[in-house]
Amino acid sequence: EEKNKTFVLDEEKKEIRKNTKYVKLTAAEFEVLSLLIKRENFVISREDIFDNSDLLNQDYESSGSLAVIINRIRHKIEDNPKEPKYLQTIRGMGYKFIQ
């Protein structure tokens, strides 16, 4: 467990904490955010997210609801969801988690 990190992922407990405070997430939000945290500083494409997800299927992709999930996560973890510091969109490529 890395002490200097803002976010800590506990996969066994299915918990993500920000500055030791528990972040309340739906199952789909947890799945997406935990994948991003595990691949911190790497760009993850939408396809990667779907390939690595048990919950999200291709229907999600066509309905654009991955963007909705990302948006909901941002509202829960960002100080300013409109200018995300942690969960960044990399245009045309996917998403990147930085902390």
Write out the chain's pLDDT in tens, 99 residues: 456 789 999 999 999 999 999 999 999 899 999 999 999 999 999 889 988 887 776 666 666 788 899 999 999 999 999 999 999 999 999 999 999
Evaluate whether residue 19 is within a structural domain: yes
- Tell me, what's the pLDDT at 52? 87
Which residues constitute the domain of residue 71? 7-97
Sign of the alpha-carbon torsion through 14, 37, 48, 82: positive
SS3 40: coil
Instruction: Note whether residue 44 is domain-resident.
Output: yes
Q: Which two tokens stand for residue 29?
A: 């939000």
Residue 60: predicted pLDDT: 61
Q: What is the pLDDT of residue 50?
A: 85
In this structure, is residue 28 part of a structural domain? yes
CATH (domain of 54): 1.10.10.10
Question: How many structural domains compose the chain?
Answer: 1
Q: Largest Cα–Cα distance in the chain?
A: 39
**pTM, entire model:** 0.89
Residue 23 forms part of a structural domain: yes
Residue 12 lies in a domain: yes
* In-domain check, residue 13: yes
Between CA 6 and CA 74 the distance in angstroms is 15
Residue 1 in domain: no
